[in-house]
Chain A
Amino acid sequence: AQSVTQLDSQVPVFEEAPVELRCNYSSSVSVYLFWYVQYPNQGLQLLLKYLSGSTLVKGINGFEAEFNKSQTSFHLRKPSVHISDTAEYFCAVNKAAGNKLTFGGGTRVLVKP
């Protein structure tokens, strides 16, 4: 079985400050990692995904994430946030040859002016 832990349920951050959202996973098989964002009253949108290759993955809206196999982590970062980044962020895994995402509990980011 696989599981995903997002260590922070809420992260308040000031505009133009950096933010890091933590994600750890556990799995007995190789997994592939995703970050999704959910803006208020909207569906989920893919920010970025790690499948293979370079462990630093760049996504949309200036976000990036680093896959660390030894620490089983896939933390999401943005060097300077905007008010529009206020949303809930979900880390997810899909095991190799799997067909369903397992999500973390989500991290709610509130960007303050």
Chain B
Amino acid sequence: GAGVSQSPSNKVTEKGKDVELRCDPISGHTALYWYRQSLGQGLEFLIYFQGNSAPDKSGLPSDRFSAERTGGSVSTLTIQRTQQEDSAVYLCASTSQGAWTDTQYFGPGTRLTVL
């Protein structure tokens, strides 16, 4: 079946602009995660959605970052007023039920470059 998909695959933007990154999880998966992979910081957790529960936003680095998940499926990560340090690969993952033992299935990522 189809895996996790993300769009766009690459995004180049100018400093100060807003960007939206999209994630389509595996159909039927109730939990969705966003991570960021950057040269300086490695792989970092950003935010976690599980069903209709309030999201765990503990990894968001600043209030410029936000995410939503509509209809329990597609998620959008929004970065406002982008900065050069936001340049990274943004990875999305989903799991079937969100249990800590579940395997997280990752998408190919969106490479964001802020000029």
What class of interface size applies to chain A in its complex with B? 20 to 34
Q: Closest A-chain residue to B91, C-beta based? A: A43
Q: Does B106 contact A (CB under 8 A)?
A: yes
Question: Distance (Å) between the CB of A104 and the closest chain B CB?
Answer: 8
- Among A17-25, A45-53, A70-78, the one that faces the other chain is A45-53
Q: A32 and B42: CB pair below 8 A?
A: no
Say yes or no for B56: interface residue by CB 8 A criterion: yes
Question: Does B104 contact A46, Cβ atoms closer than 8 Å?
Answer: yes
Nearest Cβ in chain A — how far from B35, in angstroms? 8
- Tell me which residues across on chain A come within 8 A of B42, comparing CB atoms: 103-106
**B4 CB contacts on chain A under 8 angstroms:** 43
A interface footprint on B88-115 (CB within 8 Å = 1, 0 otherwise): 0001010000101101111111000000
User: Given known contacts A99-B98, A100-B59, A103-B43, is B109 in contact with A43 (CB within 8 Å)?
Assistant: yes
Residues of B within 8 A of A (CB): 4, 31, 33, 35, 42-45, 48, 50, 56, 59, 91, 93, 98, 100-101, 103-109
Residues of A within 8 A of B107 (CB): 43
Mark each residue of chain A from 71 to 113: 1 if its CB lies under 8 Å from any CB of chain B, else 0.
Answer: 0000000000000000000101011111111111110000000
Q: Does A44 contact B (CB under 8 A)?
A: yes
- Name the residue on B nearest A104 (C-beta): B42
Sample of 19 more A-B contacts, CB < 8 Å, known A94-B100, A103-B44: A32-B101, A41-B108, A43-B4, A43-B106, A43-B109, A44-B104, A44-B106, A46-B104, A90-B43, A92-B43, A99-B50, A99-B98, A100-B33, A100-B48, A100-B56, A101-B33, A103-B35, A103-B43, A106-B43
> Chain A: which residue is nearest B95 at the CB level?
A99
Q: Which of B104, B105, B108 contacts A42 (CB 8 A)?
A: B108
